[in-house]
Structure 1
């Protein structure tokens, strides 16, 4: 039959009768349609029976129906709620990158700038510190963050429902301040992938990403990522940067009390910064320590010790001049390394002792005399004669002004430019004994005068340079040609544009302190031109060498003949004996150099050197305001002298190249005086005035010798 309803197939294993035969007879129940007939009969019997009513059963039936409806409605609403939440989650998840393409973004590389003794000068880069591993850190440091930020970190799957409920309760009751309820994993997700906005959509995405992080990374990996990415204020990203910023040490060496401050800081970096709000930072740290003790992360004795020895933030030491040196390192780093995608260490030539000394003597001089002489700024550069930068100070205070005056400020060098004029003359046959007439000069209406408005008549070049006579320098400049003087300066390392005119001899073309000091290095090393350098090596943290300075790199070759170097050093040494730099002399050391003062006292310079160190000072005002008679012979020489006393302490004197040509005199005031000299003073510069002495001009034989030597 097509309709199998109620159909029963024949069964051939029916029970046997007593006679042993099978029973094949159909019973009424086995007949087709019997079940339907039975149901009709049952209904007929029910209709014949009188109705039965029970009030109690009816009420009970109605009660079950209401409860069932209520449960049914709750289930339906719950399902719709789940669907709605799922839809919202799916929507905001769709706004994220595909999960299978999601990766943790690389942390911006840190650049650790190291001094020549291996100590850290500062960190540069977007993070402010290098990456650290959990193994490097003291165990209590990561535990401090878990205790105060997410005590169920090792138990939840990225989102903590109990934490969310607790935060919601406190927010509703307004107890304990505004609570976020975010786990460390959620905070990491926010830092890695999201903006800092506080919206419901961002929180949903944060939770989704937290679950993804928990699925793909271990708890320790998540905690390590967190410690290296979280922001601590003051430009410090990561616990290493924060430890360096606030305590001047690596995170590997922080104490328990310092670790507690750092852990408490992430809640509000601006409000809880220990260097700006120490009381609030300490109060928060005490909560961290209490939580660590409660969770068994530290012992009661450790708690007692930490509370009894509160962390003390690092106080700024000095004017922060090392940052000027670091800025210079960053400026030239691109010349040696390409794209940086990992943390690196840059090893430099900076000497911490010299850097500190240069900053201290410059700042102390400005603090003591700056107001009196109306001078507000300065710069200082110290090099080895091979061009290695040992100290570089670009201003009075780095925090107040990041402009690097040592490398970027072009100022008129005044008389400190004159050695290039005299060198050009020496190379054309003049000698230190060559006599010129110190008398008024006039070139097409331009009549430069000496500093003291006096004229000395016939005078040897060695004395004219020592006394910084303008008339002699201008005469030499015009005789050899301003263009030749400019070429000499450029050959020695001056890179700024020079105007080849009559006033070039008086230093009217602007230069930077770094290039002027570098040019003087050729006098200190015997005539080899140098390019200043500050980077010796660059390495990754695993020791891979990215760059190493070749032994022969950067030199300009020979730029001055040794005989000319000797004569120049004799004349510039005379500046310390009878000239404008007497106050700069360090007893026992052969020294040479030149002061410089510009028109109307805008700029004051002194550049000097020994056989092992070249240093230069500039003083003035950024806006060009006139100083009150600051000359190269007063404040700059004092700064230079004070620095050299520190830098040369406990070192053996080194002869100047060509030093056999002249005595290593000490200032006349200290030696009782050479009978040929008598000390005079003028306008803050003091020198010894040469008395009459035998004078001679360069012989024809000498001129011929130099013409053959230099191909003139």
Structure 2
């Protein structure tokens, strides 16, 4: 019998033998919990972890190096910040009226530099409560403020709040450009830290308030106070302070002169911020919010003075060259008369039967000196900056005729001398009167009052064109004068300012004047760069001849073509209408004021029978009647009696 060993038995077992026992063993092995990774696996995981930590540390180190490099590069590229006073601005020009108050400016306007201690306490509180409530607690950058702004913007779904501090805003406004880039933001942060290290908090706030933009060309709180309220910043009350603080967010959007309702709502927000910050109580805020916004500075004035302002600004090089620093220009403008002039033009054009598409210009000046007191260059400066009072050269028509009659008076003629108003032909040219009729033999006074063309041409030919041309030149008509007989009817082009200068000589007894708008120019420290010291122009005609002409022009208003311009006091003047009704004028004066009105179209197109005795005379009367309110009535220069007897007239030429 063969003996089988254990090994043999194991080997002899068929493949399927003991399958249940095998399955049980495999099942037991599979179900047994694993006690850990093999040593080799544990060793690999550790090496990976150590390598990850090492490379993370290396990457972090290189990131720090990169950040340091970026900061160093941006610090190197920063502008020179060693001297804050070097960051000045271009020179500005401020124009003040005859009352001493600023009415216009060119270039950025800066007020007097003030410290926090010099400013009203409520102004400083309004700015801090609205712009940077933690200003005195942060080092230039406010993480808490940034987090709060981010959360607010997230909840709103849009950007409604910024996180920049006042120090950051100062850094951006003084040293940097307004572009939005990562580079500029990094530089802003670096500059903010430098400012905080270099200056104290009150110094930073003072610099900020002296340089930040408040709209309307005003930089700094003092300039803003003067621009909007006509007072220095030291006199601002609570509601005014809150309004200015509200402008910092969006100066143009919250400009009270443009949108007072929106500015009022913004002011209420600032006052609420002050309550929330504990600076004022609710009752004080309500009282300040209820106060009406009164814009008393030049920001609240109409655009009308801009025509005069542009004229003065363009003339400055003749006095001081182009200014390199801030200058103050004392002008001749009378703000009260200017407002009256603007209103007279607006109301006159609005009331005109066919006023659509018409433009108008008005110039008023002092006949004794030539100082321009009011100037309107068009019906809307916003629509057109073209100044028709000084830039538009148009034919004055019959408004030129007084020059012909004055030349005759100087040549020995008298107002009572006769002249024939009869058909006349010169080199094929035959002038006619507006009504197509002729009056026959009439006096010079009648011919001027009735504005008879034929009589005036005949008088010019008798006096001599050369004499008329020479007188026109002496009176200040600078443009070319035609050689032909049509000179008598005002075919030489001129602007309203020049015509006003001519009539000023009629009004002051025969002295030529040079219309001017600048009385003095001073630098920021008050040093005089220019001061006017009198016209120095001599008499161009005798006082007797000027008085005789004034008497004739007074009759023109009393009963001639200028009847629509009659005032409650002695006045003299003349109408003017050009061919095809392209231009209509009225020029006249009292003892105190000369005014010239022109009406026409910019394209020199024909108007609907608008004559000088119509719309221009109406505008002239509106202006002169209002301008003379409260002034005593005075006789016309050279006349100590009533004007010439009424003269029957025809037409309103």
Q: Given that residues 582 and 667 in structure 1 are in contact (C-alpha distance below 8 angstroms), is that contact kept between their aligned partners in structure 2?
A: no
Check whether the contact 1:522–1:529 (CA below 8 A) recurs between aligned residues.
yes
**Deviation at residue 418 of structure 1 after TM alignment:** 1.0
Contact 2:561-2:650 at 8 Å conserved across structures:
no
Structure 1, residues 482-539: CA drift from partner, whole Å, max 9, x if none? Answer: 3432321121111223223221211112111011101111111111111112222233
Asked if the contact 1:112–1:130 (Cα under 8 Å) also holds between the matched residues in 2, the reply is no
| 1:177 and 2:155 are equivalent in the alignment | no
Confirm or deny that 1:571 pairs with 2:552: yes
User: 1:29-178 alignment to 2 at 5 Å?
Assistant: 78-100=60-82, 104-120=86-102, 122-128=103-109, 130-134=111-115, 137-170=119-152, 177=159
Displacement of 1:618: 0.9
Q: Which residue matches 2:513?
A: 530
Matches within 5 A, 1:600-679: 600-659=580-639, 663-665=641-643, 668=646, 679=648
Q: Deviations over 1:526-579 (max 9, x none)?
A: 1111111222223345443333221x3x33212112232233223222212332
Residue 451 of structure 2 is aligned to residue 465 of structure 1: no
What is the rounded CA distance, in whole Å, between the counterparts of 1:483 and 1:216 in structure 2? Answer: 76
Q: In terms of mean alpha carbon deviation, does 404-413 or 330-339 score higher?
A: 330-339
Partner Cα distance (1:287, 1:429) in 2: 77
- CA contact 1:606–1:636 (8 Å) conserved in 2: yes
Q: How many pairs align?
A: 608
Give the drift of 1:667.
7.9
Alpha-carbon separation, structure 2, partners of 1:641 and 1:495: 28
Task: Measure how far apart 1:133 and its partner are.
Answer: 2.0
Deviation readout 1:13-72 (Å, 9 max, x if unpaired) = xxxxxxxxxxxxxxxxxxxxxxxxxxxxxxxxxxxxxxxxxxxxxxxxx99999999987
Q: Is the 8 A contact 1:576 1:666 kept in 2?
A: no
Most deviating of 463-472 and 231-240: 231-240
Q: How far off its partner does 1:109 sit?
A: 3.8
Q: 1:307 to 1:656 in 2, by over 3 A?
A: closer
Q: Contact conserved, 2:361 with 2:496, CA < 8 A, in 1? A: yes
Out of 202, 207, 210, the residue aligned to residue 192 of structure 2 is: 210
User: What's the offset of the Cα at 1:454?
Assistant: 0.8
1:424 is aligned to 2:403: no
8 A Cα contact 1:319 1:396, kept in partner: no
Query: Pairwise CA RMSD of aligned residues?
Result: 3.4
C-alpha spacing 1:257/1:509, structure 2 compared with 1 (3 Å): same
Moved over 6 A (4+): 62-75, 312-318
How far does residue 396 in structure 1 lie from its aligned partner after superposition?
Answer: 1.6
Q: Does the residue aligned with 2:480 lie in a helix, a strand or coil?
A: coil
SS at match of 1:558: coil
**Structure 2: stretches of 5+ with no match in the other structure:** 1-43
**Counterpart Cα distance in 1 of 2:597 and 2:268:** 49
**Is contact 1:474–1:505 with CA below 8 Å preserved after alignment?**
yes
Write the distance in 1 (CA, Å) between the matches of 2:239 and 2:157.
Answer: 27
The 5 Å alignment of 1:337-416 reads 337-369=320-352, 371-372=353-354, 376-385=358-367, 386-416=369-399
- Judged with a 3 Å threshold, the aligned counterparts in structure 2 of structure 1 residues 435 and 125 are, in CA distance, closer, same or farther, namely same
2:499 counterpart of 1:519: no
Q: CA deviation at 1:439?
A: 0.9
Number of the residue aligned with 1:674: none
- Counterpart CA distance in 1 for 2:66 and 2:155 is 28
The answer for the alignment partner of 1:5 in structure 2 is none
Alpha-carbon separation, structure 2, partners of 1:194 and 1:186: 10
| Distance in structure 2 (CA, Å) of the matches to 1:98 and 1:355 | 47
Displacement of 1:312 after TM fit? 6.7
Alpha-carbon separation, structure 2, partners of 1:393 and 1:549: 24
Residue range with higher mean Cα deviation, 288-297 or 598-607: 288-297
Matched, 1:477 2:457: no
Q: Which residue of 1 aligns with 2:15?
A: none
Per-residue Cα deviation, 1:412-460 (whole angstroms, up to 9, x for no partner): 1000011112222333333223322111111222111011111111122
Could you say if the C-alpha distance between residues 602 and 101 of structure 1 is closer, same or farther in structure 2, counting changes exceeding 3 Å?
A: same
CA contact 2:101–2:230 (8 Å) conserved in 1: no
The alignment status of 1:546 with 2:524, answered yes or no, reads: no
Rounded to whole Å, the distance in 1 between the matches of 2:491 and 2:55 is 93
Shift in alpha-carbon separation, 1:515–1:203, aligned structure 2, 3 A: same
Shift of the 71–153 alpha-carbon distance from structure 1 to 2, 3 Å rule, reads: farther
Q: Which structure 1 residue ranges, 5 or more long, are not aligned?
A: 1-61, 669-676, 686-712
With over 3 angstroms needed to count, the CA separation of the structure-2 counterparts of 1:612 and 1:269, relative to structure 1, is: closer
1:322 equivalent in structure 2: 305
The residue correspondences of 1:17-36 to structure 2 (distance < 5 A) are none
**Structure 1 residue 259 displacement after superposition:** 2.8
Q: Secondary structure of 2:373's partner?
A: strand
Separation in structure 2 between the aligned mates of residue 187 and residue 169 of structure 1, nearest angstrom: 21
